Amino acid sequence: MAARGRGAGLRWAAVGALAAVLVALPPVIGALPASDADVPAAELRAAVLASDAVGFSGYAVSAGGLSLPVTDQLTSVADLFSDRTTMRIWWRGPLDNRVDVVTAAGETGTHRDATGTWTWEYEAATATRSSLRPLDLPAPPDLLPNALGRRLLSEATDGELARIGARTVAGRDALGVRLTPAEEATSVERVDVWVDPDSGIPLQVEVFAKEAERPALDTRFLDLEVAVPPSEVTGFTPPPAAWVRQGQQADVVLEAGRRIRPVALPAQLAGLDRRQLAGVPPGIGLYGRGVTLLAVAPVPFRLANGLRATLARSPEAVTDELGTRIAAGPVSLMVVQPSGEGPYVLTGTVTPDALAAAAAELPELAAAR
Q: Are residues 212 and 155 in the same domain?
A: yes
Q: Are residues 214 and 264 in the same domain?
A: no
pLDDT value, residue 190: 96
Residue type, 312: A
pLDDT for residue 65 is more than 50? yes
CA distance 225 to 230: 13
Q: Are residues 182 and 236 in the same domain?
A: yes
pLDDT value, residue 75: 44
Domain boundary, last residue among 213, 246, 279: 246
Higher pLDDT, residue 217 or 337: 217
Q: What is the pTM of this model?
A: 0.82
- Strands 126-131 and 243-246, by their bridges, are parallel
pLDDT value, residue 50: 95
pLDDT for residue 48 is more than 60? yes
Q: Are residues 80 and 153 in the same domain?
A: yes
Give the tens place of pLDDT for each residue, 108-164: 999 999 999 999 998 899 999 988 766 565 677 888 999 999 999 999 999 999 999
Q: Cβ of 312: how many Cβ atoms within 10 Å?
A: 14
The percent of residues above 90 in pLDDT, for the chain, comes to 45
CATH number at residue 153: 2.50.20.10
Q: Are residues 285 and 362 in the same domain?
A: yes
CA distance 236 to 230: 12
Q: Are residues 76 and 99 in the same domain?
A: yes
Overall average pLDDT of the 353-369 stretch: 78
> How many contiguous H segments (helices) and E segments (strands) does the chain have?
9, 20
Domain boundary, last residue among 246, 265, 291: 246
- Supply the range of the domain harboring residue 230: 2-246
CA distance 138 to 134: 11
pLDDT for residue 365 is more than 80? no
CA distance 265 to 275: 12
CB–CB of 291/191 below 8 Å? yes
Domain boundary, last residue among 190, 219, 246: 246
b/e burial code for range 183-194 (CB count within 10 A of at least 16 → b): bebbbbbbbbbb
Count structural domains, the chain: 2
Overall average pLDDT of the 65-74 stretch: 51
Q: Are residues 132 and 186 in the same domain?
A: yes
pLDDT value, residue 161: 97
Q: Are residues 75 and 199 in the same domain?
A: yes
**Alpha carbon of residue 178 to chain centroid:** 18
Sign of the CA dihedral running 267, 269, 271, 276: negative
